[in-house]
Structure 1
C-alpha cells in the first residue's frame, strides 16, 4: 500500500475540538480520517448521518446521489423480489 500526504483546510476550533474527542478515544486525527475514508469507500457513501438543515440545492443533490445509487443497485442485480423481501423481513 502506497501512502500519500493529504492536506485539508478546516476551522481551527473544529480541529481542536475534534482532537480532544479523539484523544479521549485514544485516536489521532490521521487515524480517524483514514477510518472515515475507508468506511466511505466500503459503504459507497457518507458513513454517517448528516444532521442539520439542508438548503434546497443540498437536498436535491443528496436525492440525486441516492437515486443514482439505487439505479446502480438495480443494474448490478442488488434487488429483491417480493418473496425474498418477505423472507428477509420475516413475514
Structure 2
C-alpha cells in the first residue's frame, strides 16, 4: 500500500496535549490519525457523536408543566 503525506493545521497546544495522551497509549501521531481515519471508514462517518449542548431551557422544561399553578395561587393571595 502506498503512503501519502497528510498536512493539517492545528493549534500547537492541541497537538502537544494530544501527543502526550498518545504517548501514554504507546502511539505516535501518525498511528493515532491512521486509527481515526480507519474508524471513519469502518463507521462510514465520524466515529463519535457530534452534539450541541442545549443551553436555553423553557420554564416548563425547568419547573415542569404545572409551574404556572403556583403563580395563580400567589396572585390570588395578593388580590
Gapped runs of 5+ residues in structure 1?
A: 55-91
Partner of 2:7: 7
After TM superposition, the score normalised by the length of structure 2 is 0.62
When normalised by structure 1's length, the TM-score is 0.54
Provide the aligned length of Structure 1 versus Structure 2: 54
- Uncovered stretches (5+) of structure 2, i.e. residues with no partner: 55-79
Give the whole-Å Cα distance in 2 for the aligned partners of 1:26 and 1:17.
14
Return the index of the structure with the highest Cα Rg: 2
Query: More helix by proportion, 1 or 2?
Result: 1
What is the RMSD computed on CA atoms of the aligned residues?
1.7
